[in-house]
Amino acid sequence: MKPGFWLKVVVILLFFAAPAGAVELKLFVNEPPGDRCRKNISAAAAALQEVSNVQLSIIPKYMSKATDPPAPAIMVDGRVVAVNQGPNNGRLTKAELIAALTNRGAVPYSAGYKIIYSEQLKALVDSQAEDLLVFDARNPEEYQEVHIPRALNLPEKEFTQYRHLLPADPKRQLVFYCNGLKCGKSKKAAIKAAALGYQNILVYAEGMPVWEEMNYPIYAGPDYEKKVETTKLTPPELKKMLATAAGDYVIIDVRDEAEFAAGHIPGALNIPVSRLAAASGQLDKDQKIVVYCNSGGRSYLAYRKLMKLAYKNIYQTLFADWQEAGLEVAQL
């Protein structure tokens, strides 16, 4: 191995690293790195100059786990797309890599915008930068309930009607946001703004639910604390769903990790309510989603978050009721 090689790799990682919520790109490489490994690293460096919203990790053989694919290999969001002696013989070209990344949500710079994350937007808002304009692309009712301070409401569906809010200067910095990772309004609004000639556009893809989850400042309207009625499932109803829904559901334990390890409903995922919005990208909007905690407080908050994220089939149940009914409890 050439001295300093992995130092160069670390520099690449630091340059291209992106926060959680980005498309995860993993390169598995030998040491010393062979020709295919070096070409994969070069292809990744070149690809990441053309797409944003990617988290790059380069994993040398000595750091690999037994379950990792044999190097050289490439994984995108947990899916192996090239493996040694397998698909493409462990190699992808820059074009193939870009296609694999954009298929999972990476954003080509040609789309006219870049992705920004919570901490970055918070820093911009706190800076009071005069050239910054933040636009909430949701509908007026959602905007009135809660929005980021200093944001203007430019509903994506009425973009033409509200386009007068856009500045005359095409170089002004614009930020669009909506309701999270699976909400397309901010991206659609950004593309429309780019088509009008605006050149400095950012999309806050994590959106309003994650902003709230981070406990950042908000403008809260009079209906912000309005109570919502949850759709509840009794233990027998949930047990029947587990037996008959054939994978058309996901159960989320929104308690902390220690509580989950001590006992949980079989098959449940553990996503603490404090991180639910940030982790929502892994949830399928076509599935039924059941949230639970011990007594209802945290699962109620989780239910509200999922409503704001535009999930439709949401249910709430209680772990205490499940235990009291004498139903099976799994442990770690």
The answer to whether residues 134 and 175 touch, using CB atoms and an 8 Å cutoff, is: yes
Single-letter residue type at 226: K
Q: Among 163, 187, 220, give the residue marking a domain's end.
A: 220
- Extended strands (E) in the chain: 23-29, 51-52, 54-60, 73-76, 79-82, 107-108, 114-116, 132-136, 146-147, 152-153, 173-177, 200-204, 219-220, 249-253, 269-270, 288-293, 314-318
For this structure, is 293 an active site residue? yes
Whole-number percent of the chain with pLDDT over 90: 63
For 125, 166, 167, 207, 281, the CA distances from 133, given in Å and listed in that order, are 9, 8, 9, 16, 26
Residues 137 and 206 in one domain: yes
Helix (H, G, I), strand (E, B) or coil at 261: helix
pTM for the predicted model, two decimal places: 0.75
Interatomic CA distance for residues 150 and 76, integer angstroms: 37
187: domain CATH number is 3.40.250.10
Q: Which long-range contacts (CB under 8 A, 24 or more apart) does 279-282 make?
A: 280/180, 280/181, 280/182, 280/209, 280/305, 280/306, 280/309, 281/21, 281/181, 281/182
Active-site residue (options: 37, 178, 183, 293):
293
Residue 330 within a domain: no
Q: Is the dihedral of CA 319, 324, 328, 330 positive or negative?
A: positive
What was the pLDDT predicted at 183?
86
Residues 164 and 125 in one domain: yes
Using one digit for the tens of pLDDT, what is the confidence trace for 161-208? 999 999 999 999 999 999 987 888 999 999 999 999 999 999 998 999
Q: Among 61, 91, 108, give the residue marking a domain's end.
A: 108
- When pLDDT is cut at 50, 70 and 90, the band that residue 92 belongs to is very high
Residue 263 within a domain: yes
Residue 228 within a domain: no
Interatomic CA distance for residues 166 and 300, integer angstroms: 38
Residues 120 and 90 in one domain: no
What was the pLDDT predicted at 34?
87
Q: Classify the phi-psi angles of 284: left when phi > 0, otherwise alpha if psi is within -120 to 50, otherwise beta.
A: beta
Q: Tokens in use for 206? A: 């994590």
Q: What is the mean pLDDT of the chain?
A: 89
For residue 75, pLDDT over 80 is answered with yes
Residues 150 and 239 in one domain: no
Residues 102 and 33 in one domain: yes
Using one digit for the tens of pLDDT, what is the confidence trace for 118-160? 999 999 999 888 889 999 999 999 999 999 999 999 999 999 9
Residue 230 within a domain: no
Residues 191 and 257 in one domain: no
Residue in 14, 218, 18, 194 with CA at minimum distance from that of residue 117: 18
H or E element, residue 160:
helix 159-162
For residue 251, pLDDT over 60 is answered with yes
Whole-number percent of the chain with pLDDT over 70: 93
- When pLDDT is cut at 50, 70 and 90, the band that residue 20 belongs to is low
What was the pLDDT predicted at 190?
95
Residue 332 within a domain: no
Interatomic CA distance for residues 300 and 292, integer angstroms: 8
For residue 7, pLDDT over 60 is answered with no
Residue 331 within a domain: no
Question: Is cis: bond before 87, omega within 30 of 0?
Answer: no
Q: Among 168, 189, 220, give the residue marking a domain's end.
A: 220
- Extended strands (E) in 68-209: 73-76, 79-82, 107-108, 114-116, 132-136, 146-147, 152-153, 173-177, 200-204
Residues 116 and 216 in one domain: yes
Residue 227 within a domain: no
- When pLDDT is cut at 50, 70 and 90, the band that residue 10 belongs to is very low
For residue 5, pLDDT over 70 is answered with no
Q: Tokens in use for 265? A: 């409903």
What was the pLDDT predicted at 111?
84
Range of the domain at 143: 112-220
Residues 104 and 138 in one domain: no
Residues 82 and 161 in one domain: no
Between residues 88 and 135, the one the model is more confident about? 135
Residue 122 within a domain: yes
Residue 37 CB partners (closer than 8 Å, separation 6+): 27, 29, 30, 71, 72
- When pLDDT is cut at 50, 70 and 90, the band that residue 219 belongs to is very high
- When pLDDT is cut at 50, 70 and 90, the band that residue 6 belongs to is very low
Interatomic CA distance for residues 266 and 192, integer angstroms: 46
Q: Tokens in use for 259? A: 């509580």
Q: Which of 60-64, 73-77, 118-122, 151-155 has the highest mean predicted lDDT (pLDDT)?
A: 151-155
- When pLDDT is cut at 50, 70 and 90, the band that residue 19 belongs to is low
Q: How many domains does the chain have?
A: 3
13: domain CATH number is 3.40.30.10
For residue 260, pLDDT over 60 is answered with yes
